[in-house]
Structure 1
């Protein structure tokens, strides 16, 4: 193996791993354990602010339900509350499960490289580039999203007053409830809602980046494992077996490599199962809220006369669809990579292996029949079929509400 090539691939991979730690530091999540006292204090402050925002939206929902008969107002508040709750669960769950996150980080920092061969460097380099592109997109996508969400109310106000010549209406990013006059304290309220919007978006972007990166690393190891299985019995091994040259030594080497692969698969299975448990709460909330709020926001965007609210609901609907797709997609990707191990076993030159190797390959193939997957607390698997179900339920809800609306119009 070329030391220069190996060092470059490893350096690029570790830089990407280090990127995860650096963006985690921005919301005081990383290091996952042994954080400084200041980091823990800042973490608790963020949790408190996020909880206060969720409580404010709950109060807004309750007060609005009591004081108005306009159900559009409730639909305006509920998706915001759902987004905040899901974000808070993701953020706090990382803290509660920091040992598991640290375990995955240390595994790919150290243990993973003990089984890397020269032939698998190309795979590692490819997956490192893919991970880099996706995580950068998820994180830097937050910047235009923050600008649009926080500036859109002011732009609409400017348009309506100075261009459309309409009466001034004070607009806010999420328009929460306050026990005082909103107009009198408008700029202070706008500052609060802007800061909370930035905080929620950044937390969502960072946590999504961490989860995508970790999922990509697991898929990378599964891909490397499948490649090693396909080349378990190399052409050189086949030649030695056919010509009866060092047959015992050749089979012993094959068995030794296969045992390492099986141990690595067991380790990876346990690690991905624990990670799935960590993600379960947020995925269950995503499935529940996504199925309801996508339909509600889509309905409101099509019937709302107010331009600001109509556009706002439409983009909120798009954001909910993207978030549901992202969580289902990472579940689909890890499942596909896990199932591909069985195909790798089939394509290996197992007919030339001895009896022990064939038995171990069969055992490994049986284990791969239960693929790695992310679940919503065990109730359902998160994959593209689930995303299709979410979209289907949302569209059914949209049609139902639309029909009721048309009848009562």
Structure 2
């Protein structure tokens, strides 16, 4: 955290010794906000470590109570999906980090003879940059690696919780389907009716637990989601502007650096909204399962249970951020559109 904070501070101190032109403000802010985003990801996981631990422990207890082989297979399937998603996310973000570090060091080696242009990212360490240039570059490189690792680790923890939540919603649908597959007639033995009641009650219990944990996740991360979303949108706009401007002036190294930032920001923004969409879709699947099942053939008491469950599942379970927006793919499209709008405004001002 100290390295990330110093990385941000030593960029902001550049405003003390350098004339604040529009181009310079964009150059510093585009990198500083990315550093702030990484710092926010790190702090949010650090501050909520006990909450995440609590949720994961509760999931483990639920998993230990599963006796049905199909339910265990459902959870295992979702955990395998998580493993593949983790590998893909790690690969994309590491490629983004590689782009940025490659651009920074290439820029340094191409400008060795120009001491005032050695470091591509605008910083002010109040030391002789020519003498300590390698240490400055090392600090910048380490800060970028730590930031991406923090964002990656935090994102994967949250993704693990969401994947398990989706598994719980799928188990709920499975239990409803299993209960409705039991045929009941007027002269059916009481044992069969009891089996239906038990399956529906078990479905209700696990459905309530899934809703409880989704609310828990939303309440403890809504502040972090709000601030990281604002930072991401602004930072994305600035880095898109940096890509466009450096492409015009054929500054390849700076272009690659901004391109790497954009890859990382878009990846994290998409994944954050995609997992929110998955929660909505899986909660809606429970409603669809109950509605399409032959609930009217069930015993009267079972119909009442299903009716209350139908009422509750008719409202989608979603991650609502302070009442401003719902984390979903629609939100992702809106945020990208907003970033492009801000980029257009900056370009018109610069012109």
Matches for 1:126-205 after TM superposition, within 5 Å: 126-158=77-109, 170-172=117-119, 174-205=121-152
Aligned to 2:57: 106
Unaligned stretches of 5+ in structure 2? none
Aligned to 1:31: none
Aligned to 1:55: 9
Bigger mean CA deviation after superposition, 306-315 or 323-332: 306-315
- Highest RCO, 1 vs 2 (Cα 8 Å, sep ≥ 6): 2
Bigger mean CA deviation after superposition, 391-400 or 135-144: 135-144
Aligned to 1:3: none
CA contact (8 A) 1:225 1:261 kept: yes
Matches for 1:108-123 after TM superposition, within 5 Å: 108-123=59-74
Please give the secondary structure, in 2, of the residue aligned with 1:68. coil
CA contact (8 A) 1:332 1:382 kept: yes
How far is 1:390 from its partner? Answer: 0.9
TM-score, normalising length: structure 1: 0.78
> How far apart in 1 are the matches of 2:238 and 2:217?
31
1:312-362 CA-partner distances (Å, limit 9, x unpaired): 223322322222111111111111111111001113231221122111111
Q: CA RMSD in A?
A: 2.4
Aligned to 1:37: none
Matches for 1:9-408 after TM superposition, within 5 Å: 47-60=1-14, 62-63=15-16, 67-158=18-109, 170-172=117-119, 174-234=121-181, 237-238=182-183, 241-242=184-185, 244-246=187-189, 248-304=190-246, 305=249, 306-406=251-351
CA contact (8 A) 1:150 1:173 kept: no
CA contact (8 A) 1:331 1:373 kept: yes
Equivalent residue pairs, number: 348
1:223-260 CA-partner distances (Å, limit 9, x unpaired): 121121122122xx21xx237231x2222221122112
TM-score, normalising length: structure 2: 0.90
Unaligned stretches of 5+ in structure 1? 1-46
1:13-64 CA-partner distances (Å, limit 9, x unpaired): xxxxxxxxxxxxxxxxxxxxxxxxxxxxxxxxxx33333333333334x437
Aligned to 1:27: none
> How far apart in 2 are the matches of 1:317 and 1:154?
19
> How far apart in 1 are the matches of 2:49 and 2:114?
52
